Amino acid sequence: MRKKNYFCRNFKCGINLNKDTVMNPKTVIKGKIHYVGVNDRNKHLFEGMWPLPYGVSYNSYLIDDETVALVDTVDICYFEVYLRKIKSIIGERPIQYLIINHMEPDHSGSIRLIKQHYPDIIIVGNKQTFGMIEGFYGVTGEQYMVKDEDFLALGHHKLRFYMTPMVHWPETMMTFDETEGVLFAGDGFGCFGTLDGGFLDTRINLDRYWDEMVRYYSNIVGKYGSPVQKALAKLGGLPISTICSTHGPVWTENIAKVIGIYDKLSRYAADEGVVIAYGSMYGNTEQMAEAIAAELSAQGIKNIVMHNVSKSPASYVLKDIFKYKGLIIGSPTYSNRLFPEIESILDKIETREVKHRLYGYFGSFTWAGAAVKNLAAFGEKMKWEVVGVPVEQKQALKADKYEECWALGEEMAKKLKTEN
């Protein structure tokens, strides 16, 4: 029996508890679909940049039908574990199709080895996919090229393909199993964090994944809000009962929340709150940040996050900027420029084209001020609404400058309350 639940943007959700799921809870997701992904608890930085305190999963899925299909692969470092998982389900039977939704090497890294073990396998992808496969791995052979809404029947499972370019690479697509309502979403709806024990959202504690989803989106997908919105619109009428992403849990009961998060983040919508990101060499700029934060709190703003950018990894600064509407940036002048770590975080914000933020800024200098001027130019470039009067301090913080910092905090608080 399928129970439907309608939610934002006309997505249709249903939960189908079939006897296969009960009979084989260790690998079965639904129907004849099995989880064969792996966990990486060794990697320190994702893409060489983003911290992984909880690790990351590389998810792959096996459809054990009349015709066997494998959906995406895993990082090559885990191929031996991966192959063992596959063979524990199908034994020595062949795999007819390898469906590639996304070519990033943490998902495509095992293509060449899969091809060696299953030489007659047919790789399914789009025009962009096959150029990347040959370029990365030198793999050729029989291909099945698909376009938007093309169809592939495996037997019980019937698959339809949807092109979702720039979510977050140009070749990305999603595969929808029309029989069971399962969406194989590539990196879409993914998050950081290993899957400890179970992989279904109904069998694990989800607390840590929600913030890790925001961090994953802001770090990896953040620039591509418009393509994500187009993908959501394209998929909006599908009766989705399960989302199988390439990172993070398999989503069944929490689909509305997951899609809601991606929808909100891709519109650059945000909650009431303020991020204060600052650099400080000798503590004077930091005292300005503290004064602004104290006034925000006095004015009733509870969500205040302060990041010393010399200590806070950029990954977490970006996560909070995507979460909250207000952003106040402070910097000392350094060699007639912004503090280098502030320049670095501004570059990452600009790369992600973050929109619709309320912006305040402040700075300090010893003999020639440049920080405030450069922060003003950054706000203009981002086309953000500037709130309050910028504060610029020469050398140590004086009483009148404390008052200016309080005024900046008060104006930001007032504006946030008006917006919400």
Q: Which tokens is 360 given? A: 């305040």
In a domain, 418, yes or no: no
Contacts of 70 (CB under 8 A, 6+ apart): 36, 60, 61, 62, 63, 86, 95, 97, 98, 99, 114, 121
280 and 172 within one domain: no
In a domain, 50, yes or no: yes
Q: Is the pLDDT of residue 7 over 70?
A: no
Q: Which tokens is 151 given? A: 């169809």
Name the band, by pLDDT with cuts 50, 70 and 90, for residue 25. low
Q: Report residue 23: phi and psi, to 5°.
A: -70, -35
Looking at per-residue pLDDT, the higher value among 141 and 303 belongs to 303
387 and 290 within one domain: yes
d(CA 238, CA 247): 21
For the stretch 242-301, pLDDT in tens is 999 999 999 999 999 999 999 999 999 999 999 999 999 999 999 999 999 999 999 999
d(CA 165, CA 293): 41
The angle subtended at Cα 112 by Cα 107 and Cα 118, nearest 5°, is 105
> Mean pLDDT, to the nearest integer, of 5-12?
39
Contacts of 273 (CB under 8 A, 6+ apart): 301, 302, 303, 304, 305, 323, 324, 325, 326, 416
236 and 366 within one domain: no
> Mean pLDDT, to the nearest integer, of 381-405?
95
The three-class DSSP label of residue 275 is strand
pTM over 0.75: yes
Q: Is the pLDDT of residue 16 over 50?
A: no
325 and 287 within one domain: yes
318 and 284 within one domain: yes
147 and 29 within one domain: yes
Long-range CB pairs of 197-204 (<8 Å, 24+ gap) are: 199/29, 199/35, 199/37, 199/57, 199/59, 199/249, 199/250, 200/29, 200/249, 200/250, 200/252, 201/249, 201/250, 201/251, 201/252, 201/253, 201/254, 202/252, 202/253, 203/25, 204/249
Name the band, by pLDDT with cuts 50, 70 and 90, for residue 140. confident
277 and 208 within one domain: no
Last residue of a domain, one of 200, 235, 266: 266
Name the band, by pLDDT with cuts 50, 70 and 90, for residue 419. confident
Q: What is the largest CA-CA distance in the chain?
A: 78
Q: In what order do the strands lie in the sheet with 122-125?
A: 28-30, 33-35, 61-64, 68-71, 97-99, 122-125, 143-145
Q: Is the pLDDT of residue 1 over 90?
A: no
Nearest to 307 by CA among 337, 342, 334: 342
Last residue of a domain, one of 266, 289, 324: 266
Per DSSP, the residues of 323-363 read HEEEEEEEEEEETTEE-HHHHHHHHHHHHTT--S-EEEEEE
275 and 223 within one domain: no
Contacts of 406 (CB under 8 A, 6+ apart): 291, 292, 294, 295
The three-class DSSP label of residue 418 is helix
292 and 217 within one domain: no
Domain limits at 302? Answer: 271-413
Q: Which residues does residue 365 pair with via DSSP β-bridges, in sequence order?
A: 394
In a domain, 10, yes or no: yes
Question: Chain centroid to CA 400: how far?
Answer: 43
d(CA 133, CA 401): 59
Last residue of a domain, one of 220, 246, 266: 266
> Mean pLDDT, to the nearest integer, of 55-81?
97
